[in-house]
Amino acid sequence: MSPSTASTSRASSAGRVAYLVVPHFPVAMERRERPHLAGQPVVVVNDARLAGAATTVLDCSREALAEGVQPGMALSRAEHLCPEAAFLPPRLDLYRSAAASLFQLLNSQMPAVEQAQPGGLYLDLRGLEGRDAEAMTVCQGQSESIVRELRLAATVGVAINKFSAEAASLSIGLNRILVLTAGTERMFLGGFPVSLLPVGGETQRRLQLFGLRRLGEFARLPPAAVLAQFGWEGQRAHRLARGQDDRLVASGQSERSEAANQQFDPPLDNLETLVTAATRLVTGLADRLDTTFLRAGRLAVEATCADGALLTTERLLAEPTADA
């Protein structure tokens, strides 16, 4: 694995995190099981389990991306854009099993590992602050063990926090490591699209409405203005865009939550409109779960009234599901 550093190392009191990811995990698994697919466009499609549901793209290779195919796209559109691709049904059990094996391998060698998504994991590198060469050596060893034990290739980003490390991993190719020096996070993140932010569709829509395309543009806004226009979700995203992320690596496969929200201005007083909006949010969450091979076991709902009162309810599901 080829190492890279963003700038000269200097000591930092902040922690250090690595984000190791096997890009396009379903495609990587299909190619591992079917070596003849190497180098050709590959599209893994969602099975239309729900009556009337359209079949869409779950994942696709870089070759298919180059032809305009995108995850979430209708299968018919993908077939039109890239007719020469190998279109494969999903093997979700295979992907889950491989993701578990990847976690177990890294967890046996590192003090703390957190699975962020199937094929993507955070590694706790505390104690290696300002020691780029040692961080590089640790990450290179983990990457080589993945190739040796699982026959998978990864990229690794290293930074002082999770969001910056994940962004670093996205900026390099397979079998590469990029280490960001503490203090360079905001400058590094500035050129990334705002679509990188972990926010719901409504917040993304508002970012586009305000003409904010890059993280650097968003980061330059005053925090008070961000809170007023984008709410608490936007405020948290604003901190990420500025290279500030205080989330720690949670050791083990801890419970994961997915959230979606929508603000109404003026506040709603129509139940039918509220139900329609809630249905749209739940459908978006279900799609997100399905594309990451996850299932939900509990559903919680919060609503803030015009007078500031907070209403909450929670329900355990009869069985885990990704259906809306």
Give the CATH number of the domain where residue 161 resides.
Answer: 3.30.70.270
pLDDT at 274: 78
Q: How far is CA 46 from CA 50, 53, 57, 111, 315, in A?
A: 11, 10, 6, 36, 27
Is the domain of 180 the same as that of 228? Answer: no
For tokens 């705002």, name the residue: 194
The pLDDT, as a whole number, for residue 207 is 96
Do residues 98 and 22 lie in contact, with contact meaning Cβ atoms separated by under 8 Å? Answer: no
Sequential DSSP letters for 164-201: HHHHHHHTS-TTEEEEPPTT-HHHHHTTSBGGGS---H
Domain presence at residue 90: no
pLDDT along the chain (324 residues), means of 10: 45 71 97 96 78 76 97 94 97 94 95 93 90 92 96 97 97 94 94 95 93 98 95 95 94 63 74 78 71 68 70 69 66
In a domain? residue 173 = yes
Same domain (yes/no): 11, 123: yes
Per-residue model confidence (pLDDT) at position 272? 78
Distance CA 137, CA 145 (A): 12
Q: In terms of C-beta density within 10 A (0-12 exposed, 13-18 middle, 19 or more buried), how is residue 304 classed?
A: middle
Q: By residue range, what is the domain housing residue 156?
A: 2-22+119-187
Q: What is the pLDDT of residues 130-144, one digit of tens each?
A: 788 899 999 999 999
In-domain check, residue 180? yes
Are residues 280 and 224 part of one domain? no
pLDDT the model gives residue 261: 72
Q: What is the pLDDT of residue 8?
A: 31
> Domain check: are 208 and 182 in the same one?
no
Report the pLDDT value the prediction gives residue 51, as an integer from 0 to 100: 37
Is residue 132 one of the residues assigned to a domain? yes
d(C-alpha 19, C-alpha 119), whole Å: 10
Q: Using CA of residue 32, residue 36, residue 42, residue 44, what is the dihedral sign? A: negative
In a domain, 279, yes or no: yes
| Residue 111 domain-assigned (yes or no) | no
Domains of the chain: total: 3
Task: Assess if residue 264 is contained within a domain.
Answer: no
Q: Is residue 208 part of a domain?
A: yes
Query: Residue for token digits 């543009």?
Result: 217
What's this model's pTM, rounded to 2 decimal places?
Answer: 0.76
Tens-digit pLDDT profile for residues 242-277: 999 999 998 755 456 677 777 777 777 777 777 877
- Same-domain pairing of 275 and 152: no
Same domain, 170 and 222: no
Q: Which residues fall within 8 angstroms of residue 120, CB to CB, at 6 or more apart? A: 19, 20, 21, 22, 25, 166
